[in-house]
Amino acid sequence: MLRCYLATLALLLFCLSDSHAQSFLRTHGKAIVNEEGDTVLLRGMGLGGWMLQEGYMLQTASFANAQHQIRAKIEELIGPDDTQAFYDAWLANHVR
């Protein structure tokens, strides 16, 4: 019984040792760094309005800022059928 207890304790200590610990990010001043101190850049996007196209996102603010203006410009360029195909593809592929 003591042998089983000691084996379980040894296994538990081995599993909790630092050699198997994941590295965590931390802050160093205003930077986010890994365990080696290398700066880490976190990338991502907010999905709050994930289908909403805005001029500042697409750099079209000077000629089409609101989504309806962007859609109208696309429709002027490629026509209504291809515009609908574009938006169908946008919906299907934007977030995967």
Q: Among candidates 55, 81, 85, which has minimal Cα distance to 68?
A: 55
Domain assignment of residue 49, yes or no? no
Specify whether the CB–CB gap between 71 and 27 falls below 8 A. no
As a whole number of angstroms, the distance between CA 69 and CA 75 comes to 10
Give the residue numbers spanning the domain of 68.
55-93
Contacts of 63 (CB under 8 A, 6+ apart): 69, 73
Domain assignment of residue 79, yes or no? yes
Which tokens sit at 30? Answer: 């205003």
Domain assignment of residue 69, yes or no? yes
Domain assignment of residue 29, yes or no? no
pLDDT in tens, 43-94: 887 776 778 888 998 899 999 999 999 999 999 999 999 999 999 998 888 7
Domain assignment of residue 17, yes or no? no
Work out how many domains the chain is built from and give that number: 1
Domain assignment of residue 64, yes or no? yes
For the entire predicted model, the pTM comes to 0.50
Domain assignment of residue 38, yes or no? no
Q: Among candidates 93, 94, 5, 20, which has minimal Cα distance to 50?
A: 94
User: What is the DSSP track for 14-67?
Assistant: HHTSGGGPPP--EEETTEEE-TT--B--------TTTT---HHHHT-TTT--SH
pLDDT at 49 (0 to 100)? 75
Domain assignment of residue 59, yes or no? yes
